[in-house]
C-alpha cells in the first residue's frame, strides 16, 4: 500500500511539471484575435503561431531593409529629380514668380533652380538610414504587433512618428550646405531679385532651406512607404528566411 501511494505521488508530480512546461510554451506565442487574423488573411500556421521574437525581429529587419533601400535610392543622382512622385518643385507659394519669369523668357533659370533643390535633397538622403535604425532598435513588442496587423504602411507611420524631429535636425544643415554648394541660394536670390524689380508686384521671399528640407522629408517617406508595401506583398522582396516567415504567413 505504501509503495502504491508513493508511485501515485510521483505520477502527479510528473503530470504537474508537464502542464507547467506547456503553459510556458504557450506564453511565447502571440495570440491575435480571430477577427484580425481573418481580416489580414492568416491561416493555419499564420502570424498567430509566430513567436514574439519572430515578429519583433522580422519587423525590425523589414524596417532596416526599407529604410536603407530608400536612403540609397534617393541618394543617387536624380533620386529626387527624376522621380515625379517626389520631385521638389518651385516653391508653390511663389509660383507666380516662376510663371511671370517664364513668360519673360527666363524659363531656363527656373528649371536650373528646381534641379538644384532636388540635388540638395539627394545629398541629404544619405543621413536618413542611421536615424531610422536608431528608432528601429527601440521598437517594442507592442509596436511590432501593431505594425504587423496594421495597414500596408504602418511601419512607415511608426518611423515618421518616431524620427521626424531627428530627421529634420539632420537634413536641415545638409540641405543648407547643399543649396549653397549647388548655388541654389544664389540662384534663388537672382530669381527673386529679377521678379521684385517688376513694377507693381508684391515682393516675395521664402525660407529656402526649410522649404527644401520639408519637401525632401515628404518624399523620403513616400519612398519608404513604397518599400514597405513591396516587402509585405512581393515574395521577391522578402529576401531573407525571417522576412518570408513573418510576411509570407500573412
More confident residue, 189 or 221: 221
Q: Does some domain include residue 243?
A: yes
In terms of Cα–Cα distance, which of 10, 162, 132 is closest to 68? Answer: 132
What would the grid cell of residue 112 be?
A: 536650373
On whether residue 40 sits in a domain, the answer given is no
- How far apart, in whole angstroms, are the C-alpha atoms of residue 34 and residue 169? 42
As a whole number, the mean pLDDT across the chain is 81
pLDDT tens string 228-240: 999 988 988 898 8
pTM: 0.74
Owner of C-alpha cell 515578429: 55
For the record, the C-alpha cell of 20 comes out as 507547467
Q: Is residue 16 part of a domain?
A: no
pLDDT in tens, 198-223: 888 888 777 889 999 999 999 999 99
- Percentage of residues in the chain having pLDDT higher than 90: 42
The SS3 of residue 29 is strand
Burial of 40 (0-12, 13-18, 19+ CB in 10 A): middle
pLDDT of residue 196: 84
Is residue 11 in a domain? Answer: no
Specify if 41 maps to a domain: no
Residue 59 located in a structural domain:
yes
Residue 153 lies in a domain: yes
pLDDT digits (tens, 9 = 90+) for 74-99: 999 999 999 999 999 998 878 888 89
Domain hosting 224: range is 49-247
User: How many structural domains are present in the chain?
Assistant: 1
* Residue 32 included in any domain: no
Distance, in Å, from the CA atom of 56 to the CA atom of 51, rounded to the nearest integer, reads 9
- Quickly tell me which residue has 513616400 as its cell: 222
pLDDT tens digits, 106-153: 899 899 999 999 999 999 999 999 999 999 988 888 898 888 888 999
Amino acid at each position: 500500500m505504501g509503495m502504491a501511494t508513493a508511485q501515485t505521488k510521483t505520477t502527479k508530480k510528473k503530470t504537474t511539471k508537464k502542464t507547467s512546461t506547456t503553459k510556458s510554451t504557450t506564453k511565447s506565442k502571440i495570440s491575435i484575435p480571430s477577427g484580425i487574423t481573418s481580416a489580414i488573411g492568416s491561416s493555419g500556421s499564420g502570424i498567430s503561431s509566430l513567436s514574439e521574437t519572430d515578429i519583433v525581429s522580422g519587423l525590425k529587419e523589414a524596417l532596416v531593409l526599407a529604410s536603407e533601400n530608400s536612403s540609397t535610392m534617393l541618394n543617387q543622382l536624380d533620386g529626387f529629380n527624376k522621380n515625379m512622385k517626389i520631385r521638389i518643385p518651385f516653391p508653390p507659394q511663389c509660383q507666380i514668380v516662376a510663371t511671370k519669369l517664364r513668360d519673360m523668357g527666363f524659363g531656363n533659370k527656373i528649371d536650373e533652380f528646381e534641379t538644384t533643390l532636388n540635388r540638395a535633397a539627394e545629398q541629404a538622403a544619405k543621413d536618413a538610414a542611421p536615424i531610422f535604425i536608431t528608432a528601429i532598435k527601440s521598437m517594442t513588442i507592442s509596436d511590432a504587433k501593431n505594425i504587423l496587423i496594421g495597414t500596408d504602411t504602418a511601419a512607415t507611420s511608426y518611423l515618421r512618428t518616431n524620427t521626424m524631429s531627428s530627421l529634420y535636425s539632420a537634413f536641415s544643415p545638409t540641405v543648407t550646405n547643399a543649396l549653397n554648394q549647388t548655388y541654389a541660394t544664389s540662384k534663388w536670390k537672382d530669381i527673386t531679385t529679377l521678379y521684385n524689380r517688376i513694377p507693381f508686384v508684391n515682393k516675395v521671399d521664402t525660407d529656402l532651406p526649410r522649404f527644401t528640407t520639408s519637401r525632401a522629408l515628404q518624399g523620403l517617406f513616400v519612398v519608404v512607404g513604397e518599400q514597405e508595401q513591396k516587402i509585405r506583398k512581393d515574395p521577391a522582396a522578402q529576401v531573407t528566411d525571417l522576412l518570408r516567415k513573418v510576411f509570407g504567413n500573412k
